[in-house]
Chain A
Amino acid sequence: MDKKCGVYICTGCGIGKALDIERLSKLPGKDYNVEVCKTHEFCCGPEGVEQIKKDITGEGVNTIVVAGCSMRVNQDVFDFGPDKIVERVNLREQVVWCQEPAKEKTETEEEIREGVDLHIQFLAEDYLRMGIVRAQKSELPEPYMLESLSKRILVMGGGVTGLTAAVEAAKAGYDVTIAEKGPSLGGYAGKLRKQVAASHPYADLEEPIVQDIITAAQSNPKIELKTNTVVARIAGQPGEFTVTFKKPGEEIEFDVPQIVEQTHDEEGKELTKEQIDEIYAELNKGRADILTLDPDGQKFGAVVLATGWKPYDASEFANLGFGKYKNVITNAMMEEIAAKGNIVRPSDGKEAKSVVFIQNPKKGDDSDFPFGSSVTSLVALKQAKYVREDDSEAKAYIIYQHMRTPGLYENFYKNMQDDDGIFMTKGSVASIAEGADGNLLVEVEDNLIGETIKIDADMIVLAAGMVPTTKDDPVVNLAYRQGPGFRDIGLFDGYADSNFICFPYETQRTGIYAAGCVRQALTIGECIEDATGAALKAIQCIDSVNRGVSVHPRSGDMTFPDFFFSRCTQCKRCTEECPFGALDDDEKGTPKPNPARCRRCGTCMGACPERIIGFADYNIDMIGSMIKAIEVPTDDDYDPVPLRVVVLVCENDAYPAVDMAGMNGLKYSPMVRFIPVRCLGSVNTVWIKDALSSGLDGVLLLGCQYGDDYQCHFIKGSELCNRRMENVAETLKSLALESERVELQQVAINEYDKIPGIINKFMETIDEVGPNPFKGF
């Protein structure tokens, strides 16, 4: 595209007052030969927009640089259609609103309007330069279109969640296939005596409703039902997943290849690449490679993962007599008994008239059973009611540390509590002993009654947790180079969810949406809601892929990573570091991109040592050129020389925090220049070198919190970046530069108040280290 650039400087919101606009508006023409440069006191108003539109039609301007407010606001106002490039220069939040005009006048020969601070003027000029460079280096993206697109949705699991997801997706007009491992539909919800109410007022036990959903699914012509079926492998990418089904237990050619987890041999020596390949070949004998597509495979656009949960194996709780005393059972076993008829105990089939429900396994420790949740609390209440329903003289005791009945389930708690024969206390189980007749004596300490009590129980029910099926099994069996399961699932205790709070349903694999108990322990009512959400996500995915845009979290982004393969060294770093497993390398190690799997974070671009990966509007050269566009004052002109620091700032959380600091009028050093990046994971170390070699005094990286409570939109971006920066420190040393010049800081989106502190502290560090010795070379 032939670019014709126009620069529009807004003088509203205090910009015109704080800056020498006349001087600023001469810059594009002088430094970049931009012919069209106009100012307006209200760029986002109708007249301001009209001025730009007039130039688009009259002058043929197609690359527009708006210098004014942050790129985070007025996006709709400055949208001039898909064939125009629009670049925003943040003179408001990151220049005039966050800077205090210096009290002393700087001695200079520069010509500048009276009352304008020179450093702030420089800051604005640098931003304008970077904006023009960015606009010049930007290309219009072209969408990545699949050759053929399947809009069919695969639902794994035929329980209440899977069935609901299928029915909801079918209602929205999509064809669905349900793959259920077991011989019948309904899942766990079909094996209950009664369920906790799934609708308002959430107060009572009700007959299981799953049969209605089964009927709805069976009678819907858009839904194909496969029982006794598991997924052998899912290959390809969203929009064109190729899925091979099989019977449970079968071994077939298209079983998904396993990855080698072993890294060292028996003697503790690190395995060589050849050895690993050998183990891999042995492990996957008779299985087709991941890149081989099953010719008989069925095509799917997206997957809803609703494989549910398994009861926790309580055998580790010998202290509670599980495994030792027959009448100590788990809640899942209790449900089985209850579904069959009266509550009878395992040892002698006698009806249990006194049942103790234990919610916490360890004395003196208030933690729940592993994988315990609000659901296990609700189930204890429900099962206590079973005991009472069968016999009005029976007694049910619940000993808990936490009684969790969130939201309106409080109504359920209240209703169960109202039963004369349900006795509850917070307490700690000290011991359990068995009598000759199989009765059990439960000793409860630290309770609300005020003294240690002993309860004579016919039976004890342990509140064992609900283990997500993905805990020890890949389940999804993805034919991905990174392996068949979700790679960092350990961060989520085995739940197939990549970020509970911000992005429900989203797993670490694009196009695969988890719902129900595989994602989080949920009640049946909650599963139904969850399934609806996940079905919608699957539809969103298919629709996005259909338009060639990113699904999430950069929804609608049309760019995708482009590889310049002739310079690829097959180092596989991109394949390994991609948080979403988007790349599959072939036997030589050349990466095969799967753009529909990609979330456009740019981690591959940051990883590539050859710098052959880039996006249409975001690449190595562009950011490097922007860094180089920053004017570096030298000591020829200034004494002391003003410092220059570039801050690469994550545009998801840190950039909004910086904007908010400006909105709140917080002030910080005028020596820093922010450059937004898609994710710190996309920061290539070459940019650090670019910065330091062009005389900048330091580089600060502002990213998200990482670790257990990470906040990264792309799971590991800032963590990866931090690891890469350790290598950079070594490079710096070899150049006789101080490692303090590069620093990574974590900041949450709401921590705008910390921004000035972080920046000023870094400036102090740089002050101590002194100016970059390469200045002026």
Chain B
Amino acid sequence: MAADVTKGTVQPDLDFIRMLKKSGGDTLKKCMQCANCSVACPLAPDSRPFPRKEMIWAQWGLKDKLISNPDVWLCHQCNDCSVQCPRGAKPGDVLAAIRNMAIGEFAFMKPLAKIVRDKAKLPVLFAIPTVVLLLTLLVTGKLFGFGEGDEVAFSKMFSIPVIDVVFIPLFLLVVFAAGKGVMSFWGALETADAKVGKKRYIKPSPFDFVKYYILPVLGDIITHTRFAKCGGNKSRYTAHLGIFFGFMGLFLVANIDAVTHNLGFHTPYPMLSPPKFIGNLSALALGIGMLLVIFKRKKDEAEGTQVGSYADWSLIWMIVAVTVTGIVSEVTRLIGIGFVAYPVYFAHLVFVFCLFLYLPYSKLAHMVYRTTAMVYAKYTGRE
């Protein structure tokens, strides 16, 4: 009898509420459900709009409902809602905190997730790639010197094949971990919908799925169409576009390097060669984008419309570190100051390694989860 009574009851999760409050959602209890936020939001759909309902779910600590909800990912955090909120509940920040919690929840290899999300574990976070790269140097016999010569060339320290040997498995590991996370997220989304009787009975073929759901979403992401709809977001839109294309460019160049190397080309490429040109342009876009992000965040935090969490700032400084070390190493290489260029390059590799390894657990994971949620929304007709 007693068991029957508790079946299917709501179970507010107090720990979840406390965690949300700690990770940037400290204002969540202030919501009085007036729904100004949902009206202010330029992206919320007409039916069951967000973030009003997410706010009460958060107040009630309904973790399962929140993390298996595509809506929190459909938000691009323009913070119009937080500006309009009459109670200072900052729904924009609360959704960000929920997203952060969701990333942790669906993470494959949770210990890594813990390292990323805990400020106290910052040394461990850097120690892992440092140790791996030092070991690599040890194995290749270059830990205590590698015949620097006159010309500074990073391939003398880490040859392209060595980089490939380290980073390609790392890349595959990250793809696998992110994939696992995305799969459990998708599963949770479907389960949640099935619970309220929503189910898609006729499944599209994989080809159709890609054609009708994935490609349009990717198109949207490349053009940042949804992002642009966020009214209060003009400067963030520009910044995000810069960072996005910066990363895309650098990723492309890295791949070109890996391929061309096998064709017999040797790095470093001349400044005016297409890969180098694209790489430098991308670094510039990334740098400008990051500067914009930092200014905008500082301003919003000063005005009180946004609260920066550890998840936000750790990623920001990580990308800044990658950008700065990248540029400094290139410049010192060109000038020929080897004793600066090489250590900075090493640091650059450590940061890049971090960015990669921790992608499925840091805020950067939004690129896979948000994409998944957008595909799911399209797939279930929620737009």
Contact = CB atoms under 8 A, between A and B. Distances in A.
Contact of A436 (B2, B57, B61): B2
Contact of A421 (B5, B6, B14): B14
A396 to B, nearest CB: 10
Contacts of A454: 8-10
B12 interface: yes
Instruction: Give the interface size class of chain B.
Output: 20 to 34
Nearest to B8: A454
B139 interface: no
Interface in A436-468: 436-437, 439-441, 448-451, 453-456
Contacts of A414: 30, 87
A420 interface: yes
Interface string A423-438: 1111000000111110
B229 interface: no
A440 B32 CA distance: 27
A769 B10 CA distance: 73
A573 B26 CA distance: 70
Given A393-B14, A423-B12, A418 B6 contact: no
B1 A423 contact: no
Contact of A455 (B2, B4, B9): B9
Given A420-B14, A449-B62, A433 B29 contact: no
Given A434-B5, A435-B5, A450-B53, 12 more contacts: A395-B12, A417-B30, A418-B30, A426-B33, A436-B1, A436-B2, A441-B6, A449-B56, A455-B9, A455-B10, A456-B5, A456-B9
Interface string B88-120: 000000000000000000000000000000000
A419 B21 CA distance: 12
A182 B223 CA distance: 78
A449 B1 contact: no
Given A426-B33, A433-B5, A453 B10 contact: yes
Interface string B46-72: 001000010011011110000000000
Contacts of B2: 435-437, 439
Nearest to A442: B9
Contacts of B196: 451
A446 to B, nearest CB: 13
Nearest to B7: A454
B18 interface: yes
B296 to A, nearest CB: 29
Contact of B33 (A433, A448, A451): A448
Contact of A449 (B8, B11, B21, B57): B57
Most buried by A among B5, B14, B33, B48: B5
A419 B2 CA distance: 29
B230 interface: no
Interface in A19-59: none
Interface residues of A, number: 28
A258 to B, nearest CB: 51
B57 A419 contact: no
B237 to A, nearest CB: 31
B12 to A, nearest CB: 6
Contacts of A453: 9-10
B8 A420 contact: no
B17 interface: yes
A435 B4 contact: yes
A635 to B, nearest CB: 70
Contact of A423 (B21, B48, B60): B60
A191 B14 CA distance: 32
A424 B2 CA distance: 25
A455 B196 CA distance: 18
Given A425-B56, A448-B56, A450-B48, A456 B29 contact: no
Task: Please name the 8 residue pairs, one residue from A and one from B, whose CB atoms are nearest each other, closest first.
Answer: A435-B5, A436-B1, A456-B9, A454-B9, A456-B6, A437-B2, A435-B2, A453-B10
A231 B53 CA distance: 56
Contacts of B6: 435, 439, 441, 456
**Candidate in B10, B29, B57, B59 with the most chain A CB atoms within 10 angstroms:** B10
